[in-house]
Amino acid sequence: MNRRVIWSLWGLAAVLSAGVAIFSYRYLLRVGPLSPDILANLYHRPWLDVHVAGAATALLVGPFQFLARLRTRHRLLHRRLGRLYVVGCLAGGVGGFVMAFGSTAGPIATVGFASLAATWIWANVQAWRLAVARRFDAHRAWMIRSFAMTFAAVMLRLYLPLFPLLGVSFVDGYRAVSFLSWVPNLILVELYLRGAFARRPILVQAAE
Ligand code: HEM
């Protein structure tokens, strides 16, 4: 892929991620527009705070981890941000998993969000384990998968306003995005890792 396209995509992803992350912190302070449906989640106390603090921080720092210059010239910073990212994903994942069972949107949303949380936690454990084992190509592949799931928070907020335009009720749209916000991301990333958008495979180890 052309460098300019890659930079534009990175910039767009970073700006959207920072916007959603910073706006999400309002739940920690309980200020600004808060969704009554979310506050009606059976397990929002204390899990919403755990979820938002971890997941929003992961979303904020995640894009920087993809900068090659940061990885090669500032390795200590890359490692520290990487730990913060993984801890954020694990806290966000545990909080998200618990809250999936308290969603007012019912069992379909529960399955969508709980499977996202479990897969997200799994990808981060794999990425961490491979970094410690110094298997950096495989580590990178799992981090790309992880961020594809972290980015679900952005996709969800891009998809949700489209449903009313298609005549779909908010709650049905919400159930749909519990899958739509991450499954297509993971499929695209898997195609990328297997070289579908390049002349040669990006990472042979992607299948690991
Ligand atoms: C990727 C895995 C994620 C999972 C499994 C997940 C799961 C959930 C669940 C189950 C809820 C409650 C939904 C309900 O009660 O119907 C929720 C709400 C929320 N999540 Fe996540 N989430 C994830 C990622 C993120 C990320 C990365 C952020 C960062 C900004 C985030 C921020 C929020 C916020 C702010 C809410 C409150 C609802 C709103 O205003 O939209 N989540 N999440």
Query: How far, in Å, CA of 63 to CA of 60, rounded?
Result: 7
Ligand 1 binding site (Cβ under 6 Å of any ligand atom): 20-21, 24, 27, 35, 38, 41, 51-52, 55-56, 59, 92, 96, 99-100, 103-105, 109, 113, 116-117, 120, 149-150, 152-153
DSSP letter at 207 equals: G
Give, using CA atoms, the residue closest to atom 16 of ligand 1.
103
Helix (H) / strand (E) element for 135: namely none
Does the pLDDT at position 205 exceed 50? no
How far away, in angstroms, is 150 Cα from ligand 1 center? 10
Does the pLDDT at position 98 exceed 60? yes
Averaged pLDDT, 38-56: 98
Averaged pLDDT, 133-154: 97
Over residues 1-35, the pLDDT tens digits come to: 688 998 999 999 999 999 999 999 999 999 999 99
Q: What percentage of the chain exceeds 90 in pLDDT?
A: 91
Does the pLDDT at position 64 exceed 60? yes
Does the pLDDT at position 57 exceed 90? yes
pLDDT band at 207 (very low <50, low <70, confident <90, very high): very low
Query: How far, in Å, CA of 106 to CA of 197, rounded?
Result: 38
Q: Is residue 197 helix, strand or coil?
A: coil
How far away, in angstroms, is 198 Cα from ligand 1 center? 33
- pTM (predicted TM-score): 0.93
pLDDT band at 204 (very low <50, low <70, confident <90, very high): very low
Query: How far, in Å, CA of 183 to CA of 103, rounded?
Result: 20
Does the pLDDT at position 208 exceed 90? no
Q: 200-207: long-range contacts at Cβ-Cβ below 8 A with a sequence spacing of 24 or more?
A: 203/137, 203/138, 203/140, 203/141, 204/137, 205/135, 205/137, 205/138, 205/141, 206/138, 206/141
Burial of 183 (0-12, 13-18, 19+ CB in 10 A): middle
Burial of 199 (0-12, 13-18, 19+ CB in 10 A): exposed
Cβ–Cβ under 8 Å, residues 40 and 75: no
Over residues 178-201, the pLDDT tens digits come to: 999 999 999 999 999 998 887 655
Q: Chain-wide mean pLDDT for the chain?
A: 94
Q: In the block, which residue shows the tokens 């969800």?
A: 156
How far away, in angstroms, is 69 Cα from ligand 1 center? 31
DSSP letter at 106 equals: -
Averaged pLDDT, 151-174: 97
